[in-house]
Amino acid sequence: MTTLASGVKTFGNFIDGKWIPASSGNTSENRNPADNRELLGIFQRSNEPEVNLAVEAAQAAFRKWSRVPAPRRAEILMRTAAILEERKEEFARDMTREMGKVLKETRGDVQEAIDTAYYFAGEGRRMFGLTTPSELPSKFAMCTREPVGVCGMICPWNFPMAIPSWKLFPALVAGNTCVIKPAEITPLSLMNLMGALTQAGLPAGVVNVVTGHAHEVGKVLTEHPLVRAVSFTGSTEVGRIVGVSCSHTFKRCALEMGGKNPMIVLDDANLDLALEGALWGAFGTSGQRCTATSRIIVQKGVYRRFAEELAKRAQLLRIGNGLDENMDIGPVVSRQQMETVLHYVEIGKREGARLACGGDRCDNAGCGHGFFVEPTVFTDVEPKMRIAQEEIFGPVVSLLPCNSLEDAVEIANGGDSGLSSALYTRDVNRALEAIAGLDAGIAYIDAPTIGAEVHLPFGGVKQSGNGHREGGVGALDFYTQWKTVYIDYSDRLQRAQIDRPE
């Protein structure tokens, strides 16, 4: 890592404990989406040679790291958590400058990494297998968890420290080594996380960071024969490519992909609570969450009142640089993302949805050099409209009327994704009915669709995921494989079912 005369740092790839430039000599700039004049750092645009070096370093480190007792591996995660706590504000401010979301959210992002480190440190003494009686005499049977090997990880830009922690920490405590690729537009936060791990005493080669574009780094990583598992978080479109690529070499593959998450509001709901949840679910992180509340399905008895109040409150949200503690919403992450969001606004207008508020680039003072989009509410949306079916990943929410809970659940389930869902009601019977009926990996009652607690499984159904989970014991299930052990102390050949005692 070098520092230019301007004070801007140039980061190498972190491979086998060393900073290594890309062999191509190509680099990318990391700029502040709230003020694109600010250059945060210069990062390597890597390719196959750097991925090969990183995988070889991880493979060499695996032999020793996998033999370190799990409680000792966990101690490194404990020290990492303490370092992250000490530097939380510094890392949060870097993250706000890097991807735009407001400070209260980036502090939460770093805190999630802290919580994940503490949780999986605890799992270092809970890597439980099982014992079971054998069907034959004088024979002992048990199962143990074993590490998978070298794990490849491909991360998104919206939670640039929390999501890497979801992947790295369970993999490490289980005894795996890792090659991780941050999103090309938010690499700094992962470098900060890597610095904390290194400071905590993680041996060289156990985690290797390669920066660059998906088609230049991610593709090589998913195809590499020494990589035994790949964890991907991103769009369904790219996840499908990753899944196919992994299948050629029979890699384990965890895909955490997009959502078009519904929030149902029934006539008996606490409307103030539902409105508060809608604002946070739809516009937090500028709507750039796979769990964002992007469809609100409202029973007709309260639909007009809810729609009018939501639009009114959305217009009061303060938009600006996330480093300003007074702001509610920061920019979207890039010019390309801004253009995508505004394109969907035009689609919604053409489809006949009513634009209740927003729908344009924000031109407030201080927003001129950033990628700011107004909080946008569409009403009178039909279930089959594109804005009600396709993930927009921006501060745009669609309101759809419904007749009943049954009608709402049918609308909610009428798409290809199934990540998160929510229901607002005071009726426990209808709440339980919805929990059973919603096609989603996550269901909230009287809270919006966002949020994840680190000790619980996180993931979706249908095209939101392929069955694996991040968080909690679900993550350990992905990063470990079962080994069944038989110890026959009968001092004679016993042939299982063939020599079954009569």
Active site residues: 256, 290
- Interatomic CA distance for residues 260 and 421, integer angstroms: 9
- Partners of 230 in the β-ladder: 152, 253
Taking the C-alpha atoms of residue 460 and residue 245, their distance in angstroms, rounded to an integer, is: 21
Residues with Cβ within 8 Å of residue 442, at least 6 apart in sequence:
291, 419, 420, 421, 449, 452, 458, 460
Those residues whose C-beta lies under 8 Å from the C-beta of residue 205, and which sit 6 or more positions away, are: 16, 17, 57, 58, 60, 61, 177
CB atoms within 10 A of CB 494: 17
**Rounded to whole angstroms, what are the CA distances from 421 to 148, 209, 310, 435, 465?**
33, 34, 19, 9, 15
Pairing of β 2-3 and β 150-154: unpaired
Place of tokens 């000790």: 455
The contacts of residue 215 (CB under 8 Å, 6+ apart) are none
**Rounded Cα gap, residues 57 and 64, in angstroms:** 12
The label of the residue with tokens 């020599």 reads 499
Closest CA relative to residue 156, chosen from 442, 467, 499, 470: 470
Distance CA 316, CA 337 (A): 23
Kind of pairing between the strands at 18-20 and 13-15: antiparallel
Question: Residue 349's Cα: distance from chain center in Å?
Answer: 31
Q: Which helix (H) or strand (E) holds 401?
A: strand 396-402
Residues 12, 191: Cα–Cα separation, whole Å: 10
Please spell the DSSP secondary structure of 413-475, one letter per residue.
Answer: TSSSEESEEEEE-S-HHHHHHHHHH--SSEEEESS-S----TTS-B--EETTBSS--BSHHHH
Q: What whole-number distance in Å separates Cα of residue 47 and Cα of residue 24?
A: 8
Bridge pairing between strands 207-209 and 2-3: unpaired
Do 46 and 216 touch, CB atoms closer than 8 A? yes
- Give the largest CA-CA distance in the chain: 87
Structure tokens at 380: 């009178």
With a CB cutoff of 8 Å and minimum separation 6, the contacts of 433 are 405
